[in-house]
Amino acid sequence: MADLSTDFLGIRSPNPFWLASAPPTDKQYNVERAFKAGWGGVVWKTLGEDPNVVNVNGPRYGAVHSNDRRLIALNNIELITDRPLEVNLREIAEVKKNWPDRALVVSLMVPCEEKNWKSIVPLVEATGADGIELNFGCPHGMSERGMGSAVGQVPEYIEMVTRWCKQTTRMPVIVKLTPNITDIRYPARAAKAGGGDAVSLINTVSSIMSIDLDNFAPTPTIDGKGSHGGMCGPAVKPMALNMVAEIARDAATRGLPISGIGGVTTWRDAAEFIALGCVTVQVCTAAMTYGFKIVEEMIDGLSDWMDRKGYRTIEDFRGRAVPNVTDWQYLNLNYVTKARIDQDLCIKCGRCHIACEDTSHQAITSMLDGVRHFEVIDEECVGCNLCVNVCPIDNCITMERISGVDPRTKRPIDPGYANWTTHPNNPASVKVAAE
Ligand SMILES: Cc1cc2nc3c(=O)[nH]c(=O)nc-3n(C[C@H](O)[C@H](O)[C@H](O)COP(=O)(O)O)c2cc1C
Ligand code: SF4
Ligand code: SF4
Q: For 227-241, write each residue's pLDDT tens digit.
A: 999 999 999 999 999
Average per-residue pLDDT in the chain?
Answer: 96
Q: How far is the CA of 237 from the centre of ligand 1 (A)?
A: 13
Q: How far is the CA of 366 from the centre of ligand 2 (A)?
A: 13
pLDDT tens figures, 190-206: 999 999 999 999 999 99
Q: Is the pLDDT of residue 432 over 60?
A: no
Going by alpha carbons, the residue nearest to atom 1 of ligand 3 is 391
The pLDDT assigned to 423 comes to: 93
- pLDDT band of 142, cuts 50, 70, 90: confident
For residues 368, 371, 372 and 377, what is the CA-based torsion angle, rounded to 10 degrees?
0
- pLDDT band of 146, cuts 50, 70, 90: confident
- pLDDT band of 105, cuts 50, 70, 90: very high
Q: Is the pLDDT of residue 431 over 70?
A: no
Nearest ligand to the CA of 402 is 2
Q: Is the pLDDT of residue 253 over 80?
A: yes
The pLDDT assigned to 324 comes to: 98
Q: Is the pLDDT of residue 434 over 70?
A: no
Going by alpha carbons, the residue nearest to atom 5 of ligand 1 is 22
Distances (CA, A) of 190 to 106, 163, 195, 219, 255: 21, 10, 9, 35, 15
Q: Is the pLDDT of residue 168 over 80?
A: yes
DSSP states of 213-242 = TTTTEEES-BTTB---EEEESGGGHHHHHH
The helix (run of H) or strand (run of E) holding residue 4 is: none
Residue-wise over 243-267: b if at least 16 C-beta within 10 A, else e?
Answer: bbbbbbbbeebeebbbbbbbbbbbb
The pLDDT assigned to 230 comes to: 96
Nearest ligand to the CA of 353 is 3
What average pLDDT does the segment 318-336 reach?
Answer: 98
DSSP states of 33-86 = HHHHHT-SEEEEEEE-PSSPP---SS--EEEEE-TT--EEEEEE---S--S-HH
The upper half-sphere exposure of residue 300, i.e. CA atoms within 13 Å in the direction of its Cβ, equals 6
Q: Which one-letter DSSP state was computed for residue 12?
A: E
The pLDDT assigned to 149 comes to: 84
Q: Is the pLDDT of residue 435 over 70?
A: no
For the entire predicted model, the pTM comes to 0.96
The number of the ligand 3 atom at minimal distance from the alpha carbon of 350 is: 5
Q: Which one-letter DSSP state was computed for residue 128?
A: T
- pLDDT band of 430, cuts 50, 70, 90: low
Q: Is the pLDDT of residue 433 over 80?
A: no
The pLDDT assigned to 138 comes to: 83
What average pLDDT does the segment 122-143 reach?
Answer: 93
Q: Which of 17, 23, 31 is nearest to 95 (CA)?
A: 31
Q: Measured at the alpha carbon of residue 42, what is the angle toward residues 32 and 107, in degrees to the nearest 5? A: 120
What average pLDDT does the segment 131-142 reach?
Answer: 90
The pLDDT assigned to 151 comes to: 85
Measured in whole angstroms, the distance separating CA 161 from the mean position of its chain's CA atoms is 24
Q: Is the pLDDT of residue 302 over 90?
A: yes
- pLDDT band of 330, cuts 50, 70, 90: very high
Report all structural domains of the chain as residue ranges with CATH numbers, in order of start. 6-324 (3.20.20.70), 328-434 (3.30.70.20)
- Tell which one of 85, 284, 294 to mutate to probe ligand 1, the residue whose CB is within 8 A of the most ligand atoms: 284
Q: What are the residue numbers of the active site? A: 138
